[in-house]
A and B are shown apart, each in its own frame.
Chain A
Amino acid sequence: MQTRVLIIGAGATGTALAGDLALRGIDCILVEKGDVNAGASGSNHGLLHSGARYILSDPAAAAECCAENRILKKIAPQCIEDTGGIFVAVKGDDEKYISDFPDACKKCGIPVQALDLKQARQMEPALSAQIIAAFLVDDAAIDPFKLSLDNLCRAQQHGARLLCRHRVTSFETGSGGIRRTHVTDLQTGKKFSIEAQIVVNAAGAWADIIARCAGVQMQMHYSKGSLVVTQGRITSRVVNRLRMPTDGDILVPGGTVSILGTTSERVSSPDLIYPEVHEIDAIIDQGSAMIPELAEISYIRAYCGVRPLPAEADENSQEQDDRAVSRGYELIDHQRQPEELANFITITGGKLTTCRLMAEKTADLVCKKLGIQAVCSTQTEPVPDAVDSKWTKPGLSPAVWINENRCKEPLLCECEMVPESVVRQIAETIAAKKKAPGLNDISLRSRIGKGPCQGTVCSMRITAYLYDQGYMDDRRGTDDLRSFLKERWRGQQPLAWNNRLARAELMEAMHCGLFCLELQL
């Protein structure tokens, strides 16, 4: 395979870069070891920052967020719910932080409006009676899956190729650059190589592993953040705690749910991470100081992601909170590094809110290296609203199902009202790209398994459907079912109390008690 640009990693940055290059008329291949947004890009709050959160810890990142917030609201409104956001402090919070906050925002050009407490509680009745300060900011909710899939759609319309479940195993270097990239198809085991003029490492928390394959020493730290999804939507706006970032201080609404987070814990590897019971307890205990009902309500699912952080931050203090480390991005031109690889670029760090900017800066460097004069147009060019991704939106499937009067059609997922036709459409789209659609692929592109039953019922129905349609053979669908259930379990296990424990019991009763999926008989 040959291409001009090889992008490693199909997260928010990699897909935004593919979209940017497409607009500049540059072809690319995206290689992704999992699926789109499988890393941190798919396991965050879905928060489009106003910048106010970083205003005292990292003013530069705050200003970047503020600018990107405005751009994304213009170019990708279909991915954004413009909720607005509130910062609140409760009794006992640092009063200096509170009093410095509005001026610091203004200095960075971040719009902020002080609210009187009565007004704040009228706007958000769920807020605690103990709040002592409240400010209105321009935070919003953003669907990171839709953004990545829409960017990808733009790229694919311009000929970009996406290779999911393909792992980069090694690079062949020579004459001051990467000559070939060796790739393994994780599904078939097939090995092949890609020749690219430029290789961009956008592997997120795995960027150091990719860099090491090219002989580049890059030290990174991994900070795990865990989040929890509420059963219903708690507030209409984003609610932030007005203090230095710590556990359980952001609640982001998205469609029919809210997402509470987050924690920050060092982990030794970005793989095999789990949201832990003590983290969930910490964010619920902290969150309920702002919004008391968080202590009582039901939660659907917990998840976690890894923030990739540059290692230098660690030199200053072993004890410091990783959230205080700059959340700015890092663009590395490996030509200027000791290894002198002229066509190798790493883009890492950063945030979902700044993914477009990171893509722009990376694409600029790519163009410079290719000697192409092409100006970035992603600040103004709208991201297409791609059909591919529309089923990920909470609540959309029921709306369509009811509106189009599909009531005569079977629902494969009753919790989120996903009818057979949606599953068929997604499966056909994947199959058209010469890939066998699996349960996990359909889960990524729809709401299946994300409702109260967490996939206990729909997993088997969709597996049966995929076998029935001839997409699955041998025991492949059953292996896929096992991995889907394990993934759902990962998010349920720390939340298994109250009715969630009963649901977990039903899941195990059916899939282990009856179907014996824990055994390989």
Chain B
Amino acid sequence: MNSQRADIDCDLMVIGTGMAGMATAMFAAKKGIKAVQVGVAGQLGFASGLIDVLGIYPVAGGRVVENPWQAITSLGRKEPKHPYAMIQSNEIRTSVNAVLEFLGRADYPYVCQKENNMVMPTSAGTIKPTYAVPHTMAYGPAAMARKEPCLVIDFKSLKGYSSRQIAENLSRSWPGLRPVSIGFPEAATEMYSERMARSLENPRIREKLADLIAPHIGDACSVAMPALLGVFRTLEVTEDLSRALGLPVFEIPTMLPGAAGIRLKEIFEQHLPEMGITSFFQHKVRNLSRKKGGGWIFEVEGMNFSRLVSAKTAIVCSGRFLGGGLHADRHGIKETIFSLPIAQAPERASWHQRDMLDPAGHRVNRSGIAVDRDFRPSDSNGRPVYPDLFAAGTILAGQDWMRQKCGSGLAIATAYAAFNACNNFLEKA
């Protein structure tokens, strides 16, 4: 491979197409770095669409975080191995704001309270603390806080979403919820959320939907529905439907994968190439080798062809076990692309608690790639494995994004920090 001529030369190879990979590529594009991105897109489809920064801390006490920035400061002191502990609080904030601005410019604005978390109702009828929500969901936390009378809609053809489930579960704190089940206009017996969300971009379908909802409104001050208010034109869909009903309409996040995750995937997949990123979505790194004197050659393989990419640096954001960045057999955990050392991997018997819902969380989730101050994967002595390889996202050790409710914030902030370190390296070289 080393002797072959590379098809593409670049400064940075971004491996991964989840939130961390997309954010890294975005930061690189903004700095005008010549970057190639590779990954099996689709991971973002499993995103909830909520941008969590830090929702629960400490995890064992199950404490809901009001001000995530303050909580991050205290987390940094108590959990020095947490990736957040290696980033300045204002940098975390800057990076999250940069992604929110990017999404806003892509006509999918997010709403946040800057200093405080919001509390969102979910389709399970539970509530979840989060930092920023898409504009389509923004009215929900306010309506819930005011306990205002609200009509909750579900669609007969959408599985796993029951308005009655939401209303019953939330009835103690929000008795004003009134559930109603209606047939989705022009629906088949069974429909997936992405298709329903796409069909609501059709004004005719929206009009029919408004006609179906209108007779149920009664005393309701707002209308909640599953996260289906469009994929590409959410502003138009939300405003139009609200206008037709004369009431604010808002979304409640659904089971995964849902439309809210697919919107993010579509936005990044459309905008990053426009910003100058060479994207190989639906591709994998099949093979790699180290160049003499530093840098990398990657063989990138897709369905029909493979290419050789020469890169001065790389940032690995390949995710955990579901994303494929980590793999475990009965005897241990491995990093799948570079065979990087794994930190904090205890014996298999202690990977998981016996109780799935154990408040402490599972130890395996804190294992992963340890990094130095420059976000370079490091060995057990803290020495970087390669000078020109960086890591970001949930593959990093020392965090529990599912329990701490910090998935997107962690992905974005570590992408920012890893990219900045990488950029410094490129500038020095």
Give chain A's interface residues, CB within 8 Å of chain B. 274, 276-278, 281, 284, 408-412, 457, 460-461, 463-465, 467-468, 470, 472-475, 477-478, 481-482, 485-486, 488-490, 493, 496-498, 501-521
Are A274's CB and B354's CB within 8 A?
yes
Q: Which of B21-29, B162-170, B293-301 contacts A (4 or more CB under 8 A)?
A: B162-170
Residue from A472, A474, A486 in contact with B357 in the complex, judged by beta carbons closer than 8 Å: A486
Are B403's CB and A521's CB within 8 A?
no
Q: 1/0 per position for B350-383, CB-CB distance to A under 8 A?
A: 0111111111011011000000000000000000
Judge if B281 is at the interface, Cβ distance under 8 Å: no
Are A409's CB and B124's CB within 8 A?
no
Judge if B161 is at the interface, Cβ distance under 8 Å: yes
Name the 9 nearest CB pairs between A and B, nearest first: A489-B356, A467-B165, A464-B162, A513-B402, A410-B190, A277-B349, A515-B124, A461-B160, A468-B162
Q: Which of B163-221 contact A (CB under 8 A)?
A: 164-165, 168-169, 171, 181, 188-190
Are A507's CB and B356's CB within 8 A?
yes
| Complex Cα–Cα for A486 and B62 (A) | 18
Judge if B321 is at the interface, Cβ distance under 8 Å: yes
Are B348's CB and A497's CB within 8 A?
yes
Are A473's CB and B322's CB within 8 A?
no
Judge if B275 is at the interface, Cβ distance under 8 Å: no
Which A residues are in CB contact (< 8 Å) with B322?
502-503, 505-506, 509
Place the interface of chain B in its size category: 35 or more
| Complex Cα–Cα for A521 and B129 (A) | 10
Judge if B405 is at the interface, Cβ distance under 8 Å: yes
| Complex Cα–Cα for A506 and B401 (A) | 13
Judge if B140 is at the interface, Cβ distance under 8 Å: no
Judge if B17 is at the interface, Cβ distance under 8 Å: no
| Complex Cα–Cα for A489 and B354 (A) | 8
Q: A460-B255, A467-B165 are in contact. Are A514 and B48 (CB under 8 A)?
A: yes
Are A467's CB and B164's CB within 8 A?
yes
> Can you name 15 A-B residue pairings with CB atoms under 8 Å?
A408-B189, A460-B124, A460-B160, A461-B160, A463-B124, A464-B123, A467-B164, A468-B154, A472-B168, A474-B168, A481-B124, A488-B356, A501-B328, A505-B321, A506-B322
A287 to chain B, nearest CB (A): 13
Tally inter-chain residue pairs, CB-CB below 8 A: 160
In the complex, which residue of chain A has the Cβ closest to the Cβ of B356?
Answer: A489
Residue from A467, A489, A497 in contact with B355 in the complex, judged by beta carbons closer than 8 Å: A489
Judge if B407 is at the interface, Cβ distance under 8 Å: yes
| Complex Cα–Cα for A452 and B210 (A) | 39
Are B357's CB and A482's CB within 8 A?
yes
Judge if B16 is at the interface, Cβ distance under 8 Å: no
Are A518's CB and B162's CB within 8 A?
no
Residue from B48, B128, B189, B365 in contact with A409 in the complex, judged by beta carbons closer than 8 Å: B189
Q: 1/0 per position for B123-134, CB-CB distance to A under 8 A?
A: 111111000000
B353 to chain A, nearest CB (A): 8
Are A278's CB and B357's CB within 8 A?
no
Q: Which of B312-328 contact A (CB under 8 A)?
A: 320-322, 324, 327-328
A453 to chain B, nearest CB (A): 12
**Majority SS of interface residues in chain B?**
loop
Q: A276-B349, A410-B189, A498-B328 are in contact. Are A515 and B122 (CB under 8 A)?
A: yes
Are B256's CB and A510's CB within 8 A?
yes
Q: Which of B370-429 contact A (CB under 8 A)?
A: 401-403, 405, 407
Which B residues are in CB contact (< 8 Å) with A481?
124
Residue from B64, B171, B354 in contact with A493 in the complex, judged by beta carbons closer than 8 Å: B354
| Complex Cα–Cα for A348 and B403 (A) | 44
Are A467's CB and B128's CB within 8 A?
no
Are A521's CB and B64's CB within 8 A?
yes
In the complex, which residue of chain A has the Cβ closest to the Cβ of B355?
Answer: A486
Which B residues are in CB contact (< 8 Å) with A482?
357
Which A residues are in CB contact (< 8 Å) with B125?
475, 478
A226 to chain B, nearest CB (A): 13
Which B residues are in CB contact (< 8 Å) with A477?
165, 168-169
B306 to chain A, nearest CB (A): 25
Are B329's CB and A497's CB within 8 A?
yes
| Complex Cα–Cα for A485 and B126 (A) | 16
| Complex Cα–Cα for A414 and B188 (A) | 18
Are B357's CB and A485's CB within 8 A?
yes
| Complex Cα–Cα for A408 and B402 (A) | 36
Are A463's CB and B122's CB within 8 A?
no
| Complex Cα–Cα for A505 and B122 (A) | 20
| Complex Cα–Cα for A284 and B330 (A) | 10
Are B255's CB and A510's CB within 8 A?
yes
Which B residues are in CB contact (< 8 Å) with A412?
159
Judge if B56 is at the interface, Cβ distance under 8 Å: yes
Which A residues are in CB contact (< 8 Å) with B149?
none
Are B256's CB and A518's CB within 8 A?
no
Which A residues are in CB contact (< 8 Å) with B232?
none
Are B328's CB and A514's CB within 8 A?
no
| Complex Cα–Cα for A369 and B159 (A) | 55
B82 to chain A, nearest CB (A): 17
Judge if B46 is at the interface, Cβ distance under 8 Å: yes
Are B364's CB and A501's CB within 8 A?
yes
Are B160's CB and A519's CB within 8 A?
no
In the complex, which residue of chain A has the Cβ closest to the Cβ of B190?
Answer: A410
Are A521's CB and B348's CB within 8 A?
no
Which B residues are in CB contact (< 8 Å) with A507?
356
Are B402's CB and A508's CB within 8 A?
yes
- Other than the given A278-B349, A486-B357, 12 more pairs (CB < 8 A) read A474-B168, A475-B125, A482-B357, A502-B322, A505-B320, A512-B402, A513-B402, A513-B403, A514-B128, A518-B403, A519-B126, A521-B127
In the complex, which residue of chain B has the Cβ closest to the Cβ of A499?
Answer: B321
A2 to chain B, nearest CB (A): 38
Which A residues are in CB contact (< 8 Å) with B128?
514-516, 521
Judge if B253 is at the interface, Cβ distance under 8 Å: yes
